[in-house]
Amino acid sequence: MKAQLILENGMIFEGKAFGHIKESVGEVVFNTGMTGYQEVLTDPSYYGQIVTMTYPLIGNYGINLDDMESDSAKVRGFIVREKADYPNNWRCEMELDGYLKQNRIIGLEGIDTRALTKILRNHGTMKGIITVRELTQSQINQKLKAFHNKNAVAEVTTKEIHEVKGSGKRIAVMDFGIKENIIRSFKKRNCALTIFPADISAEEILKINPDGIFLSNGPGDPKDLPEVIRTIKELIGKKPIFGICLGHQLLALSLGGNTEKLKFGHRGCNHPVKDLFENKVYITSQNHGYVVTDLPEDMIKTHINLNDGTVEGMMHKKLPIFSVQFHPEACPGPKDTAYIFDRFMELMEGGFPCQEITA
């Protein structure tokens, strides 16, 4: 079935629809990963977005049921140059088309994804519509104007407090759209997790007397979450705190820093980041459209992005608090940045890694 991608700037790309045939509106972004499309589809941080994969062939190793980052696909739409119709891998349990049908997500194939990516790089991410019918200009304007992603975290956070058993450190997790592999990373370190909804109070978190507090990844603009920022402020100085991605941005805002939207974001599994502690460069997985611009007072920069110099990590000079913008659980290296979780374990043991830099 013929389908179109209609961009906010008026450009139109024509291709073929696959997956679940329905109209969809979202923020059009691109991901530069050659693999990992299954993790992209199920990452809650992509909620509200139509994702374009820059690698030309997607779906060649199929879908398995073990590598999901959440319980369902979270994207609004999925755009590829070519969809593999006959996947081949020993772990394959279903093909991409069937998975999108099952999750009621529309796909679009056959368009020039290179041209689309160049447009997004030159003009920035923008709203778009995937449709299989002809729309009038009035209908297009109305649909684009109506779309927003301000309630994204409320849509993907856990609805109830729940536990993940472990015999080690007890961690309170503020869930803004946590990825399963973050949970797996803590489980590998025998941590006991209590996972709270995003709108939980500081009082409820401190009531369980955790050894540390984790601020998870998630979708959207951190400035859309003023109540969460107030809660984090109340937790500062009470327990060791570690944040990833959106959690990193929320931590910066709660400490008096600032964030802003990137022109086209960082999305992919090939982003070089320098650890200023170790003077080493790591290839990282990233998925974010916002970035910390002004470091809070008493925070020092620990990691930088070597593509554009943006802040990729920070640590408090006096308190056991640190965070990173990239995803240390995502294994693009494949496990080069897993030490970030070990650093949090050291922090909860009373270690103070910041002394290594400030000494």
| Known binding-site positions for L-glutamine | 45, 218, 220, 246, 249, 287, 289-290
- Strands in 106-191 per DSSP E: 106-109, 126-131, 162-164, 170-174
Confirm if 144 and 24 have CB atoms less than 8 A apart: no
Q: Pick the closest to residue 273 from 236, 305, 299, 234 (CA basis).
A: 305
Task: Please return the burial class of 288, using the count of CB atoms within 10 Å of its CB with bins 0-12, 13-18 and 19+.
Answer: buried
What is the DSSP secondary-structure string of 282-303?
Answer: EEEEEEEEEEEEEPPTTEEEEE
Catalytic, 331? Answer no
Q: How far apart are CA 281 and CA 156, in angstroms?
A: 32
Contact between 56 and 34 (Cβ < 8 Å): no
User: Which tokens belong to 251?
Assistant: 């931590």
- Binding-site residues sit at 45, 218, 220, 246, 249, 287, 289-290
- Confirm if 32 and 287 have CB atoms less than 8 A apart: no
| Residue carrying structure tokens 């080069």 | 336
Query: What distances in angstroms separate CA 231 from CA 159, 251, 326, 341, one per listed residue?
Result: 18, 10, 23, 23
**Catalytically annotated residue among 191, 245, 269, 354:** 245
Using CB atoms within 10 A of its CB, is residue 331 exposed (0-12), middle (13-18) or buried (19+)?
A: middle
Pairing of strands 106-109, 12-19: antiparallel
**Which amino acid does the sequence have at 266?**
H
Nearest CA among 278, 356, 285, 359 for reference residue 324: 285
Active site residue 327: yes
The conformation of residue 63, written as its DSSP 8-state character, comes to B
Q: Which of 266, 271, 303, 327 is catalytic?
A: 327
Q: b/e per residue, 165-187, with b = 16+ CB within 10 A?
A: ebeebbbbbbbbbbbbbbbebbe
Active-site residue, from 8, 27, 109, 329: 329
Could you give the residue numbers annotated as active site? 245, 327, 329
